[in-house]
Structure 1
């Protein structure tokens, strides 16, 4: 038998999804994979119940149902500060995962280079490699996770085709300031580079930080491919409804890539989700308030337990510093944490290109009682996990 594809030789299964399986195995509170344990808005669920009895069970338009794209265009035009054309500037995808892959395959050729900030969501490196491109990693420096401008420009000097920008960032919760984004924008313009954004946490940002849409920066609309999804905003991670927003010349190519990747997103779910896209500003204000309260609950609990941690500016992830336990493998630590303490986390090394072994990632997109139970279990962490000599 001939050998299989070389491009996947360095891949493992998703460490994030693996930790969910390990959490389930040991009955741990799963703070690893970033999905909520509370329901989506009842208005969306009520509409879904109606849709099951209506005629939305066959293919929708490949790049998204008309009413979904129109509702999405209205919402994003409002928040992005630019009128979005639902017919020529949007492609609806099967989650932001496909949106990112479609964007990558639309702008890169085999042998191209792509800048990726580290730490990074695990798919970005894989997307780059699957596209036949080569990642160039630029470190974000803890604890603020800012970047060194000289190091970033050194990466741009390698003539990359694109840069991936996750804002707010998974896993570190970094929200890039306007000034930081302007530095990236100026370099992208200077070196003629596409910018692929992942803005799935666009509505989960904590005061005083503000989310700035990269496509809204001066001269950036023409070179920006904005990717996002409904997953986190409406607590429907299993619905897999994402989208790409970009100028028509880019969207024309994204449509073709998307068509041959997945044909189209689920028609009944698009119809039900229109209800959420039509929510007013109060929904997003309440979402921010809800997550701000959960962040405070969990961070206060960690402080009481004297567990060192990062403080996210956006998204809902926290990196716990486990240096005191002396583990050479943060994956081993996470397995012990799930088995002996009963809390699921993700080894931080899966997000860093640099040799980093001091962090594990947890999240707080859970009911308050779930977070309190996790904190109760973490209170015994030092008793149940021995320090390695």
Structure 2
């Protein structure tokens, strides 16, 4: 799998527990990506290799250098390492940009983009916002951004500047769980009722709208319920940056009967691979351990790089959010979060 060597040009503190990393353009030329995509870093930390995905917060339309936003996570090995050690001149190996959280930006497509973000879910939204404002003269954006408190708002000053520069085209509503005295935004948590209340005036305008959300799974579940109540659930695009549950891989299929060992057959790139997957392991984990370089990126069920079509048997997925309802119905699975539920499984990867 082709990788990039990205050299850090600068590191900016966004909040007490989040940074923005700016990279020099790679030696191969300007980084090619779409608004809303992410980079998957490959880092060796204390002798062990880790892969983690971080959303690009720069825009491919503005001429700015590529940037990512990274928030410290409790127990997060890579995010905490980068927050503590990232510095100018450091080189990070990355996979090519990927991800399907990519709205069509240029006209004559949807001219009103409604974005829901929570915490570090703002990072892909920054790329989308800047891209719409730059590349779609008729486009406008309504951002609803939820955080714990004022100090945790990533890109706070950047958003103020963008709103000032593009008055009338960018509308931002901040929602804080713990608001300071004199706070002018909304307070409390996003509930399905509040989502409907905020969304209705935008719908009544009669404009074509494109709907997107990214944030903690609990917040996104509430937003989804609000959209479902308005019969708009299928129009809402989402980016999942953490697993939708806190279950370990071993417990992910606890409710199902799994064979102790499953025989897995994978057809990929005109080759056929056969290997055994023990109970509790994912298909991709075992394939990589055996030196079989199946396509992959995030390794957490987010990017769909590892997607394949199930031809035989059954597979349980730890995370399904990245797949559309149609893809699930057609039998597509993700090998990075896929556990065989039958003694034999056959998958075809394009």
Same fold (TM over 0.5): no
Higher RCO structure (Cα 8 Å, ≥6 apart): 1
Structure with a larger share of its residues in strand: 2
Class of the TM-score when normalised by the shorter of the 2 chains: 0.3 to 0.5
Structure with a larger share of its residues in helix: 1
